Each structure stands twice: as structure tokens, then as C-alpha cells.
Amino acid sequence: MGAVSDAAGRAPDLLPAADQALVRTVDGLDDGAWAAPSLLPGWSRAHVVAHLALNAEGLAGVLHGAHLGRPQPMYASPEARDADIAELAGVGPAALRERFLASTATFSEALAAMHASDWAGRFERTPGGPDFALANVALMRVREVEIHHADLDAGYTAYDWSEGFRTLLLDSMTKRPYPAPFVVRPTDLDGTWEYGEGGGGPVVTGPSAAAAWWLTGRGTGEGLTSDTTELPEVETW
């Protein structure tokens, strides 16, 4: 894949199991469960599944364009993305389930079709917006799948994440900006993760699942402790 971060290089191996687990959960939702609230403010479970479907289609389009040498953005615009999610969330459980399953297959096919030379370069999320390395597409997708699977609030939580994904998430979240530096030392993994510029700062300990969930800006840090008694500030992913 060219120059790839360690986390990005590990992501493709984690994606099949993540997809399978999510498909099982989505298949298991009865018709009445789709309208129930998710853990994301203002979004039902249908909104989360719609977002996952459109994310898969958008990233598949990015890969397909790169493969053909015709770069394309992931979404037409932020407004179009939001409108498409709202529209797809309202089509009904059967149609949404079918669209989601098809999108998962579409992304997998686009990923498998990529050649080594296709991975050079970058793509835009929306035209004129921030751009990202093509080599990070699988990492972006596996994070979407695993984190939003837990957001569905349908029996799958951060504690169901594999050790491989927990480690990958702890690694990849070091790339984000933070107001002040801090350190995470999971009680169930070997290693120490440093966040923010400058090093040092409070030391956060607890289960790796709790730490990874908290680093995405979710929950209140349940299960975690800080040697300063207060957890550092993190933004929602």
C-alpha cells in the first residue's frame, strides 16, 4: 500500500471480522428496533446504519476512482451527506438492511480490487475540504464499523472489541489534537500511549476498552482513573 502507518497497515486484517459482527447485529434488529435511539444524540439506530451504508459507498467510490486514476471525493458536500443520511434512515427496515448489506460488499470488492500502485495519493472528503491519504481508507472504515456498531446500543459494546482493534484505536487516536498532553496506561495491555504535544501530563489507567471508548469522546470515562483525579479533555470523534 505504499507508505502506511502501522495502524493503517493492520486495519485490513481486522475489517472482515468487524463487518461480520456488525452484519449479525443489523440482521438481528426487529422492525421495531430501528427507530429506537442510538447512543449518538439525535440519531436513531436507522440513522447509524444509514450512515454506515453511505460511508461504505463513499469510501468504495474513493477506492474505485483511485483504481481507475480518476480521483473523486467521498461526499458531494457536507449538506448532501447529512440529507442523504436522513433520507436513507427513513426508507424502512427492509430496504435499509438491504442497502447496508450491499454497501458492505461493495466496499470489500473495491478494497480487493486495489493494486499496490493505486494507494499513492490523497482524496477529499468533500470537494475543497480536508484531504486524507488513500492508504488510510481501511483504517477509516474499520473505525467507523467498530465504533458505530457500539453506538447502535444493540448489545455490542467497546468491551466486545478485539484486542487488535483496541490496540489499533489507541494507536490511531494519538494522531488527533488534544488541548493538553496526557498518558494512557491500560491495565489489560502492555504499553503506554502518549496523547497531545509535549509529553507528560495526567496518567489515565483502566481497561483498554474503556480508554478507547473514552478517547472517542463517548461516555464519562467509566472504569478509568487519573492520577490527578480528573480525566483530561477529549473531543468527540
| Confidence label for 3 from pLDDT (cuts 50, 70 and 90) | very low
Whether residue 70 is contained in a domain is answered as yes
At residue 5, the pLDDT reads 52
Same domain, 42 and 115: yes
Per-residue pLDDT of 168-224, as tens digits, reads 999 999 999 999 999 999 999 999 999 999 989 999 999 999 999 999 999 999 999
Residues 98 and 133 in one domain: yes
Domain termination site, one of 156, 189, 207: 156
Q: Where are the alpha helices (DSSP H) in the chain?
A: 6-27, 45-68, 78-89, 93-113, 137-151, 163-172, 208-215
Q: pLDDT for 6-52, tens place per residue? A: 788 899 999 999 999 999 999 999 999 999 999 999 999 999 999 99
Number of other CB atoms surrounding residue 111 within 10 Å: 16
Q: Which pLDDT score is estimated for 6?
A: 78
Residues 118 and 187 in one domain: no
Mean pLDDT value across residues 121-129: 95
What are the grid coordinates assigned to 174, written together?
A: 494519538
Q: Are residues 142 and 114 in the same domain?
A: yes
- Is the same domain home to 148 and 94? yes
Does 2 have pLDDT greater than 90?
A: no
Domain count, the chain: 2
Q: Measured between alpha carbons, how far is 45 from 89 in angstroms, rounded to an integer?
A: 9
Please, are residues 214 and 193 in contact by the beta-carbon 8 Å criterion?
no
142 and 80, same structural domain? yes
Task: Give the global pTM.
Answer: 0.95
What percent of the chain clears pLDDT 90, i.e. is strictly above it? 95
Q: Is 231 a domain residue? A: no
Give the per-residue pLDDT at 1: 29
Residue 8 has a pLDDT of 82
Whether 138 and 15 have beta carbons less than 8 Å apart is answered as: yes
**CATH number of the domain that residue 15 is part of:** 1.20.120.450
Q: Among residues 5, 31, 235, 37, which one has the least CA distance to residue 152?
A: 37
131 and 15 both lie in a single domain: yes
The reply to whether 59 and 100 lie within a common domain is yes
* Residue 177 CB burial class (10 angstroms; 0-12, 13-18, ≥19): exposed
pLDDT in tens, 72-96: 999 999 999 999 999 999 999 999 9
Evaluate whether residue 173 is within a structural domain: yes
> Which CATH number is 188's domain given?
3.30.1050.20
Residue 131 domain-assigned (yes or no): yes
Position 4 scores a pLDDT of 38
Average pLDDT score over the chain: 95
Q: Are residues 126 and 189 in the same domain?
A: no
With respect to residue 26, please indicate whether it lies within any of the assigned structural domains.
Answer: yes
Asked if residue 126 and residue 47 are part of one domain, the reply reads: yes
Taking alpha carbons only, the member of 112, 92, 114, 94 closest to residue 102 is 94
Using CA atoms, how far residue 108 sits from 20, 85, 141, 181, in Å, is 12, 21, 10, 37
The parent domain of residue 215 ranges over 163-226
φ, ψ of residue 235 in degrees (nearest 5)? -100, 160
